[in-house]
Amino acid sequence: MKSRYPFYIAVALLIIAGLGLATLRHVELGIPWLSGDERPVWLVEARIDFQASGEPVLVSLNLPDNPPGFHVLSEQAASPGYGFSIIEEEGDRRGEWSIREASGAQTLYYKAQFVPDPDVRPPQPKKPPQPETIYWEEPQATAANEVLELAAAKSSTPESMTRELIKLIRSTDPNQNTALLLSGNRPVDVLSRLLNHADIPARISEGIMLEDARRRQPLRPFLQIYDGDSWLTFNPQSGEQGLPENVLLWNRDTTSLLDVMGGNQSVVSFAMLRQTVPALQLARAEAIDSGLGFLSLYQLPIEEQSMFRMLLLLPLGAMVVAFMRIVIGIRTSGTFMPVLIAVAFLQTSLLPGLVTFISVVTIGLLLRGYLSSLNLLLVSRISTLIILVIFMSTAISIVGYQMGFNTGMTVTFFPMVILAWTIERMSILWEEEGPHEVVVQGAGSLLVATLAYLLMDAPLARHLTFNFPELHLVILAIILLLGQYTGYKLSELRRFYPMKVYE
């Protein structure tokens, strides 16, 4: 007797591989287990207004690139007549609009969808940034040195130094030195200069506060210092460390946000909207550039996707048939006829499908009875039957359409061969085993087909089979295990009941 271990190991591997891959894809790609899942997405729109002066115009806007805590789902620019391209230079993304000639008020839009994703970290700088060299003029130089001394006395690390500086600068009763430094300068600029002066690399990044349905929002400055490892963000107003969750850093570094050539009075403002997007759609949009994306069917042409959607349901039906026949012991006509009938039900929906199936098969059985009395050869009889089935389904479609039932049309989805073959099989069964067996097998087929349909039609089943095709490995394993079942069928418990007599 052959060892069964390799078999069971293979089955276990199939199950582990199926569930493992599905879980991995769920985690990595964010494909939801349930179809109804929704995720928030921020739609941010940057609007650039300026007055063009009738010359060639080149507008360059700094675009967010891997803002911490978010990733870009989609981006697009809208601007009539302008050429648009995204340019990357020195790790800086800029959108450039260009036009040969424009005059008067111009409005350009850049829209992007951002998905909150706590895992996104800004890239590490390739080489540690160096503090800028700052030149002060007297008396600012003295004031700056004194302020720095004051802060240094109360701090030990760049971080605490920064906090102390912010406290000093934002203090409600500023001393003489800070007042001098702040006169005519933004506090954040002063802070950045002071820090750089103190040999701490610092920069100003700008971000927007994300709030639903806000318009005309300006960018807010954030102070960032480099602690030798990564950039740390501080709120220059409150001195709070860290980037709030609802802040999207639009541009890092000190490069300009907007450059306009051939225009003036340029203004950038931001509007934002919180959208909820089905998590599935999100996953699909992201699947393309993800490592595990190749396993999904989203890249296929839509037409093929819808075909696979149907095809991938078949294993479920096969599993139902295997279970019903092996464990329950329901007799069906043909092994996989019920699956095919169930697929046809998917097209027609259950009730119209059942009605048309039963009526076409019944009429077909009657006609076939007549055909066999005509003494025809078998092949021509089946061929005749197929043509008759086509006539019948055409008739049902036309009658259904005239009566206003759309469902009449869907009978055409029943493959003729399924119907004709069912009729032929049933009528042979009728002749050989009698009507009782026809009823038993016919009802068994329809019952199994209905159960298979109900399973295949469940939204969850449709969702899982298409979005997690690897779960079919689990189905395969279950079917293999069913093939190993040597126990009694449920129907045998009834069939062998008379054995009780021989106790």
Partner 1 sequence: MIRWISPAALNRRGMLNMNRRNVSYIARYNERSAYPLVDNKLKTKLIAAEYDVSTPKLRQVVSQQHEISHFRERVEDLAGFAIKPAKGSGGKGIMVITGRDDDRFVKASGATVSLASLERHLSNILAGLYSLGGAPDVAIVEDLIQCSSTLTDFSFQGVPDIRIVVFRGYPVMAMLRLATRASDGKANLHQGAIGVGIDIASGQSLNAVQFNRPVSHHPDTGLALEHIHIQEWHTMLVMASRCYEATGLGYMGADLVLDQNSGPTLLELNARPGLAIQMANGKGLLPRLKYIEGLKRTHLTPEARVEYAMSVFSHTGALYTPPKKTSSSRVPA
Give me the residue label for tokens 């008759």: 388
| 495 lines the binding site for partner 1 (CB under 8 A) | yes
Using CB under 8 A, pick the residue from 153, 213, 302, 379 that binds partner 1: 379
Q: Which stretch binds partner 1 (CB under 8 A): 133-141, 310-318, 455-463, 494-502?
A: 494-502
Distance CA 476, CA 473 (A): 5
- Asked if residue 3 binds partner 1 (CB under 8 A), the reply is no
Which amino acid makes up residue 371?
A: L
Under rule CB under 8 A, residue 483 binds partner 1: yes
Six-digit token string for 32: 């939801």
Residue with tokens 């494909």: 31
Do 409 and 400 touch, CB atoms closer than 8 A? Answer: yes
350 binds partner 1 (CB under 8 A): no
Smallest separation, CB 417 to partner 1 (Å)? 13
- Contact residue for partner 1 among 156, 264, 375, 402 (CB under 8 A): 375
Q: Is 502 in the site for partner 1 (CB under 8 A)?
A: yes
Whether the CB-CB separation of 272 and 196 falls below 8 Å is answered with: no
Q: In what order do the strands lie in the sheet containing 57-62? A: 83-89, 92-99, 57-62, 258-261
Residue 377 binding partner 1, by CB under 8 A: yes
Applying CB under 8 A, does 485 fall inside the site for partner 1?
Answer: yes
Token pair, residue 422, equals 């069912």
Burial class (CB in 10 A: 0-12, 13-18, 19+), 271: middle
User: By CB under 8 A, is residue 498 in contact with partner 1?
Assistant: yes
Cα radius of gyration (the chain): 36
Tell the smallest beta-carbon distance from residue 440 to partner 1 (Å): 11
The pair of structure tokens assigned to 333 is: 């006509």
- What residues contact residue 63 under an 8 Å CB cut-off, 6+ apart? 75, 86, 93, 94, 95, 110, 112
501 binds partner 1 (CB under 8 A): yes
What tokens were used for 29?
């790609």
Report the nearest approach of partner 1 to the CB of residue 375 (Å).
5
Is 3 or 133 the residue whose CB approaches partner 1 more closely? 3
Q: Which CB sits closer to partner 1, 229 or 503?
A: 503
- 121 is an interface residue for partner 1 by CB under 8 A: no
Closer to partner 1 by Cβ: residue 160 or 384: 384
Q: Which residues contact 150 (CB under 8 A, 6 or more apart)?
A: 164, 168
Site string for partner 1, 318-347 (x = CB under 8 A): --------x--x------------------
Q: Would you count residue 378 as binding partner 1 (CB under 8 A)?
A: yes
Give the shortest CB-329-to-partner 1 separation in angstroms: 8
Q: In the beta sheet, which residues pair with residue 108? A: 48
Instruction: Tell me which residues in 391-450 interact with partner 1 (CB under 8 A).
Output: 428, 432-434
What phi, psi does 71 have (nearest 5°)?
-130, 155
Beta pairing, strands 263-278 & 38-53: antiparallel
* Minimum CB–partner distance for residue 7 and partner 1 (Å): 12
Number of residues that bind partner 1 (CB under 8 A): 28
For partner 1, the closer of residues 240 and 431 by Cβ is 431
**Binding footprint of partner 1 on the chain (CB under 8 A):** 326, 329, 375, 377-379, 428, 432-434, 483-489, 492-502
